[in-house]
Structure 1
Amino acid sequence: MAKKKAKQLLIVDGYNIIGAWPDLRALKDQDRMDDARDLLISKLADYQSFSGIKVMIVFDAYTVPGIGRQMNDYQVEIYYTAQKETADEKIEKLVSQFYEKNRQIYVATSDYTSQRVIFGQGALRKSARELLLDIESAGKEIKQQVDKTREDRFSKRISLDEEIAKIFEKWRRE
């Protein structure tokens, strides 16, 4: 019996991506980091639902004492690092923890040092720009599917011969 292929995994360096994506960076620059974080989580949750790729997001809480927790929002796993633990260190641990022979792990970061370690553990890098393009593409596909569903729903009307349509219209007006 062939072993089932494990689900693909995307681990995202949250603050690195917030600093790289223009809409999120703009929120951060306006001192709206909570909004930037929430928007990133929401976009990645939609991406996970559409793509089927399991998403984990790591936020660096290096200088915040006693954080080090895990949450599940929108079915996306969110990790806040422990005190004196960097996001890169947490990501390396997650790659090591979830590595399986037939699972592809991607790490979304633009941090060069982290990338080298990640490659050594068998994960592939996805730049912030690549991830943004993937998410935008998924968004377009979702919109197309919604539009097509709407179109299909309204096109299920019975097509009538022009003469019969005129008769029905006459009856309707009487």
Structure 2
Amino acid sequence: MAPKANALMVVDGYNVIGAKWDMTQGDLAQWRRELVENLCNYTALNPCQTHVIFDAHQRRQRETWEEITDQVRVCYTAYGLTADAYIERFCARHRGREQRLIVVTSDRLEWMTAAGYGAEWLSSPALWQAMAQQPRQQTPKGTAGRMNRGLPAAIQKRLRQWSNEL
């Protein structure tokens, strides 16, 4: 399912990660990066605003937002607030708006609540499948080393950081 440009997709981050990997083993930070990277690629070809919501995960912090691209933003909820509760409140505030709202989760209670507020639902495995079916764009010959030159400095820096972490 490809969202329309005026859609807002709200993604339960750890739920989507858990649909692909065993969260009791492995590197959550790496999986978060991979999910966000896949969503950036997906929204580049299927334009829609995307908010990825992660629980504070036992860290005492205030709610923080990180803008990854013009279309993808990541939210870490405030301490004590689950991603589920955040998404449910978001759906309640969004109710009655004309913008299409799509909630991505495989949590049955969460998607039923979101649907009650008028949001559409997409399962976590269905999102992974949609992202996997994206056509791969080929880099034109001779441009591979120059692709980053047109990107803003902050994005170039983030790409270098991610590359160094691999």
TM-score by length of 2: 0.73
Give the unaligned 5+ runs of structure 2.
142-166
2 CA distance for matches of 1:34 and 1:62? 12
Alignment of 1:86-165 (within 5 A): 86-99=82-95, 101-138=97-134, 141-143=135-137, 146=138
Aligned residue type for 1:42: E
2:151 aligned residue: none
The one-character-per-residue Cα deviations of 1:62-97 (angstroms, maximum 9, x if unpaired) are 532123111111331111111111101111222233
Match of 2:32 among 15, 25, 37: 37
Q: Which residue of 1 aligns with 2:8?
A: 9
Name the Cα RMSD after superposition: 2.3
How many residue pairs match? The answer is: 137
1:134 maps to a residue whose letter is A
Shift of 1:12: 0.4
Identity percentage over the alignment? 27
Partner of 2:43: 48
From 45, 63, 68, the counterpart of 1:68:
63
Q: Deviations over 1:8-30 (max 9, x none)?
A: 01110000011101xxx16x454
- Partner AA of 2:58 in structure 1: T
Whether the 8 Å CA contact 1:43–1:135 is kept in 2: the answer is yes
Question: Is residue 99–residue 105 contact of structure 1 (8 Å, CA) maintained in 2?
Answer: no
Supply the distance in 2 between the matched residues of 1:9 and 1:110 (Cα, whole angstroms): 18
Q: Give the gaps of 5 or more residues in structure 1.
A: 151-174
What amino acid does structure 2 have at the position aligned with 1:13? D
Q: Distance in 1 between matches of 2:5 and 2:18?
A: 31
Per the alignment, in what secondary structure is the counterpart of residue 84 of structure 1?
coil
Change (3 A) 1:72 1:100: farther
Q: Which residue of 2 aligns with 1:165?
A: none
Whole-Å separation in 2 of the counterparts to 1:137 and 1:38: 19
TM-score with structure 1 setting the length = 0.70
**What code does the residue aligned with 2:133 have?**
S
- The whole-number CA distance in structure 2 between the counterparts of 1:71 and 1:64 is 17
Paired with 2:133 and 2:10, the residues of 1 have a C-alpha distance of 19
> What is the rounded CA distance, in whole Å, between the counterparts of 1:36 and 1:47 in structure 2?
16
